[in-house]
Protein backbone atom coordinates (compact mmCIF):
# COMPACT_ATOMS: atom_id res chain seq x y z
CA UNK A 1 0.00 0.00 0.00
CA UNK A 2 1.52 3.30 -1.06
CA UNK A 3 -0.57 5.52 1.17
CA UNK A 4 -0.97 4.98 4.86
CA UNK A 5 -3.07 7.20 7.03
CA UNK A 6 -2.53 7.04 10.75
CA UNK A 7 -3.09 9.09 13.85
CA UNK A 8 -0.54 9.39 16.59
CA UNK A 9 -1.40 9.95 20.23
CA UNK A 10 0.78 10.75 23.20
CA UNK A 11 0.36 7.70 25.45
CA UNK A 12 0.82 9.53 28.73
CA UNK A 13 -1.71 12.24 27.81
CA UNK A 14 -4.14 9.59 26.56
CA UNK A 15 -3.84 7.66 29.85
CA UNK A 16 -4.26 10.75 32.03
CA UNK A 17 -7.23 12.12 30.09
CA UNK A 18 -8.80 8.65 29.89
CA UNK A 19 -8.75 8.31 33.69
CA UNK A 20 -10.36 11.71 34.09
CA UNK A 21 -13.04 10.99 31.49
CA UNK A 22 -13.86 7.74 33.31
CA UNK A 23 -14.41 9.75 36.51
CA UNK A 24 -16.52 12.34 34.73
CA UNK A 25 -18.76 9.71 33.11
CA UNK A 26 -19.22 8.02 36.51
CA UNK A 27 -19.91 11.37 38.21
CA UNK A 28 -22.63 11.95 35.62
CA UNK A 29 -24.32 8.75 36.78
CA UNK A 30 -23.21 6.23 34.18
CA UNK A 31 -21.74 2.77 34.55
CA UNK A 32 -18.34 2.74 32.81
CA UNK A 33 -18.18 -1.07 32.97
CA UNK A 34 -21.08 -1.66 30.63
CA UNK A 35 -20.23 -2.84 27.13
CA UNK A 36 -20.82 0.34 25.14
CA UNK A 37 -18.83 2.47 27.56
CA UNK A 38 -15.78 0.33 28.31
CA UNK A 39 -13.62 1.95 25.65
CA UNK A 40 -15.35 5.34 25.69
CA UNK A 41 -12.90 7.13 28.04
CA UNK A 42 -10.00 6.16 25.77
CA UNK A 43 -11.87 7.10 22.58
CA UNK A 44 -12.89 10.44 24.08
CA UNK A 45 -9.30 11.12 25.20
CA UNK A 46 -8.07 10.49 21.66
CA UNK A 47 -10.86 12.53 20.09
CA UNK A 48 -10.01 15.51 22.31
CA UNK A 49 -6.34 15.27 21.37
CA UNK A 50 -7.32 15.26 17.71
CA UNK A 51 -9.62 18.26 18.18
CA UNK A 52 -6.94 20.28 19.98
CA UNK A 53 -3.94 19.31 17.82
CA UNK A 54 -3.64 22.94 16.68
CA UNK A 55 -1.59 23.75 19.80
CA UNK A 56 1.30 21.74 18.33
CA UNK A 57 1.11 23.22 14.83
CA UNK A 58 2.72 26.39 13.51
CA UNK A 59 0.51 28.33 11.06
CA UNK A 60 3.35 30.72 10.10
CA UNK A 61 5.46 27.77 9.01
CA UNK A 62 2.57 26.44 6.90
CA UNK A 63 2.17 29.77 5.08
CA UNK A 64 5.86 30.53 4.55
CA UNK A 65 6.42 27.05 3.09
CA UNK A 66 4.07 27.91 0.21
CA UNK A 67 4.69 31.59 -0.57
CA UNK A 68 5.50 32.39 -4.18
CA UNK A 69 6.73 35.62 -5.78
CA UNK A 70 3.98 36.77 -8.14
CA UNK A 71 2.93 40.13 -9.60
CA UNK A 72 -0.83 39.38 -9.46
CA UNK A 73 -2.42 42.13 -7.41
CA UNK A 74 -6.16 41.58 -7.61
CA UNK A 75 -8.33 40.20 -4.82
CA UNK A 76 -7.90 36.47 -4.09
CA UNK A 77 -10.91 34.89 -2.35
CA UNK A 78 -11.31 31.46 -0.81
CA UNK A 79 -14.86 31.13 0.43
CA UNK A 80 -16.94 28.50 2.21
CA UNK A 81 -14.00 26.95 4.08
CA UNK A 82 -15.47 24.39 6.48
CA UNK A 83 -14.91 25.22 10.12
CA UNK A 84 -15.14 22.94 13.16
CA UNK A 85 -13.96 24.23 16.52
CA UNK A 86 -14.66 23.99 20.25
CA UNK A 87 -15.97 26.88 22.32
CA UNK A 88 -13.68 27.42 25.27
CA UNK A 89 -16.52 28.28 27.65
CA UNK A 90 -18.41 24.99 27.39
CA UNK A 91 -16.06 22.71 25.39
CA UNK A 92 -18.90 22.22 22.93
CA UNK A 93 -18.53 22.45 19.14
CA UNK A 94 -19.15 25.46 17.01
CA UNK A 95 -19.07 25.03 13.26
CA UNK A 96 -19.71 26.90 10.06
CA UNK A 97 -17.88 28.61 7.26
CA UNK A 98 -14.89 30.88 6.87
CA UNK A 99 -14.39 33.27 3.95
CA UNK A 100 -10.91 34.71 3.40
CA UNK A 101 -9.69 37.31 0.92
CA UNK A 102 -6.38 39.01 0.41
CA UNK A 103 -4.80 41.37 -2.09
CA UNK A 104 -1.22 40.25 -2.81
CA UNK A 105 1.76 42.53 -2.42
CA UNK A 106 4.44 40.69 -4.39
CA UNK A 107 3.64 37.26 -2.97
CA UNK A 108 0.79 34.80 -3.26
CA UNK A 109 0.25 31.73 -1.08
CA UNK A 110 -0.76 28.19 -2.09
CA UNK A 111 -4.57 28.22 -1.89
CA UNK A 112 -4.83 25.02 0.13
CA UNK A 113 -2.80 26.68 2.90
CA UNK A 114 -5.63 29.01 3.87
CA UNK A 115 -7.98 26.16 4.92
CA UNK A 116 -5.01 24.58 6.70
CA UNK A 117 -4.35 27.60 8.87
CA UNK A 118 -8.09 27.80 9.64
CA UNK A 119 -7.77 24.23 10.99
CA UNK A 120 -4.65 25.04 13.03
CA UNK A 121 -6.45 27.84 14.88
CA UNK A 122 -9.82 26.04 14.99
CA UNK A 123 -8.36 22.91 16.59
CA UNK A 124 -7.85 24.66 19.90
CA UNK A 125 -10.26 25.85 22.57
CA UNK A 126 -11.59 29.00 20.98
CA UNK A 127 -14.02 31.86 20.84
CA UNK A 128 -15.18 32.87 17.38
CA UNK A 129 -14.01 36.46 17.84
CA UNK A 130 -10.42 35.48 18.64
CA UNK A 131 -10.35 32.84 15.92
CA UNK A 132 -11.26 35.56 13.38
CA UNK A 133 -8.46 37.84 14.63
CA UNK A 134 -5.86 35.09 14.71
CA UNK A 135 -6.50 34.04 11.11
CA UNK A 136 -6.46 37.69 10.04
CA UNK A 137 -3.24 38.58 11.89
CA UNK A 138 -1.45 35.43 10.80
CA UNK A 139 -2.06 36.16 7.09
CA UNK A 140 -1.36 39.87 7.53
CA UNK A 141 1.92 39.42 9.43
CA UNK A 142 3.25 36.53 7.33
CA UNK A 143 2.19 37.33 3.76
CA UNK A 144 2.21 41.12 4.29
CA UNK A 145 -0.49 41.64 1.64
CA UNK A 146 -2.04 44.95 0.62
CA UNK A 147 -5.09 43.88 2.56
CA UNK A 148 -6.80 40.88 4.15
CA UNK A 149 -10.39 40.12 5.13
CA UNK A 150 -11.89 37.29 7.17
CA UNK A 151 -15.59 36.55 7.74
CA UNK A 152 -16.78 33.65 9.90
CA UNK A 153 -20.38 32.45 10.13
CA UNK A 154 -20.92 29.79 12.76
CA UNK A 155 -23.53 27.93 14.78
CA UNK A 156 -22.70 27.26 18.42
CA UNK A 157 -23.87 24.04 20.05
CA UNK A 158 -23.69 25.73 23.46
CA UNK A 159 -26.46 28.05 22.26
CA UNK A 160 -28.39 25.44 20.28
CA UNK A 161 -28.47 22.55 22.76
CA UNK A 162 -28.47 24.37 26.05
CA UNK A 163 -28.86 27.88 27.46
CA UNK A 164 -31.13 29.94 25.25
CA UNK A 165 -31.79 27.01 22.85
CA UNK A 166 -31.80 29.26 19.81
CA UNK A 167 -31.41 26.60 17.19
CA UNK A 168 -31.23 28.63 14.03
CA UNK A 169 -29.09 31.55 15.07
CA UNK A 170 -25.82 32.11 13.27
CA UNK A 171 -23.05 34.25 14.70
CA UNK A 172 -21.09 36.33 12.21
CA UNK A 173 -17.71 37.87 12.95
CA UNK A 174 -15.42 39.74 10.58
CA UNK A 175 -12.11 41.52 10.46
CA UNK A 176 -10.43 43.70 7.86
CA UNK A 177 -6.88 45.00 7.40
CA UNK A 178 -5.19 47.30 4.89
CA UNK A 179 -7.10 47.88 1.63
CA UNK A 180 -10.20 46.18 3.07
CA UNK A 181 -10.56 49.00 5.57
CA UNK A 182 -11.74 51.02 2.55
CA UNK A 183 -15.47 50.71 2.24
CA UNK A 184 -15.54 50.03 -1.54
CA UNK A 185 -12.98 47.19 -1.35
CA UNK A 186 -14.78 45.69 1.62
CA UNK A 187 -18.13 45.90 -0.18
CA UNK A 188 -16.71 44.22 -3.28
CA UNK A 189 -15.49 41.34 -1.12
CA UNK A 190 -18.80 41.03 0.74
CA UNK A 191 -20.66 41.01 -2.57
CA UNK A 192 -18.40 38.30 -3.98
CA UNK A 193 -19.07 36.04 -0.98
CA UNK A 194 -22.79 36.69 -1.32
CA UNK A 195 -23.28 38.94 1.73
ZN1 LIG B 1 -20.00 28.12 24.56
Output the 3-class SS for the chain.
CCCCCCCCCCHHHHHHHHHHHHHHHHHCCCCCCCHHHCCHHHHHHHHHHHHCHHHHCCHHHHHHCCEEECCCCCCEEEEEEEEEEEECCCCCEEEEEEEEEEECCCEEECCCHHHHHHHHHHCCEECHHHHHHHHHHHHHHHHCCCEEEEEEEEEEHHHHCCCCCCCCCCEEEEEEEEHHHCHHHHHHHHHHCCC
Query: Has 87 been labeled as part of a binding site?
Result: yes
* 99 catalytically annotated: no
pTM above 0.95, yes or no: no
Task: Calculate how far, in angstroms, residue 159's C-alpha sits from the geometric centre of ligand 1.
Answer: 7
The whole-number pLDDT of residue 162 equals: 84
The whole-number pLDDT of residue 1 equals: 63
Q: How many C-beta atoms lie closer than 10 Å to residue 65's C-beta?
A: 11
Task: Calculate how far, in angstroms, residue 8's C-alpha sits from the geometric centre of ligand 1.
Answer: 28
Cα 39–Cα 83–Cα 58 angle in degrees, nearest 5: 85
pLDDT means per 10 residues, the chain with 195 residues, are: 76 96 98 97 96 96 97 96 97 98 97 97 98 98 98 95 80 98 97 93
Query: Has 138 been labeled as part of a binding site?
Result: no
Spatial distance between the Cα atoms of 77 and 132, rounded to a whole number of angstroms: 16
Please pick, among 53, 133, 158, 188, the residue that the annotation labels catalytic: 158
* 87 catalytically annotated: yes
- Residues near ion ligand 1 (CB < 5 Å) are 87, 89-90, 158
* 89 catalytically annotated: yes
Amino acid sequence: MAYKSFEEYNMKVTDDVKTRYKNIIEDLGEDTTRDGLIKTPERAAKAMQFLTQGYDQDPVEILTAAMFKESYNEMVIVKDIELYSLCEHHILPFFGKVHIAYIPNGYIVGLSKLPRIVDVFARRLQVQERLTEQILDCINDTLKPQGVAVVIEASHMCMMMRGVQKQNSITTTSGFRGQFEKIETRNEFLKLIGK
